[in-house]
Amino acid sequence: MGSIEGYILTLVNIYQYVLIAYVLLSWLPNARESFIGEILGKLCEPYLGIFRRFIPPIGGMIDISPIVALIALRFIGMGIIVVIGFIIP
């Protein structure tokens, strides 16, 4: 069971770093149009789009949906670990 938890936490951590990198790219002009920006966009936009539908930008400029998405990702990862803990004692 311990190795499954480790794999899940590792995957969650990697995806969190990918999300953070994608958000940081938004601060640089034309960075999202680069090769890496397009790859990160394909990985992150489907997940971030869920939160952007429900959380509008503050003042029309500040998007807090990535923060909520990161918190939710951590909860989802922990939830999966708990469910697997019940299934595999």
Contact by Cβ (8 Å): 48, 69: yes
Contact by Cβ (8 Å): 3, 50: no
Task: State whether residue 55 is helix, strand or coil.
Answer: coil
User: pTM, whole model, 2 decimals?
Assistant: 0.86
The radius of gyration of the chain from alpha carbons, rounded to an integer in Å, stands at 15
Q: Which residues pair with 62 in a beta bridge?
A: 58
**Average pLDDT of every residue of the chain:** 90
Which of 14-18, 27-31, 80-84 is predicted with the least confidence, judged by mean pLDDT? 27-31
Report pLDDT for 49: 93
pLDDT digits (tens, 9 = 90+) for 35-67: 999 999 999 999 999 999 998 888 878 889 999
- Per-residue DSSP letter, 28: S
Domain boundaries, given as residue ranges, for the chain: 2-87
Contact by Cβ (8 Å): 31, 23: no
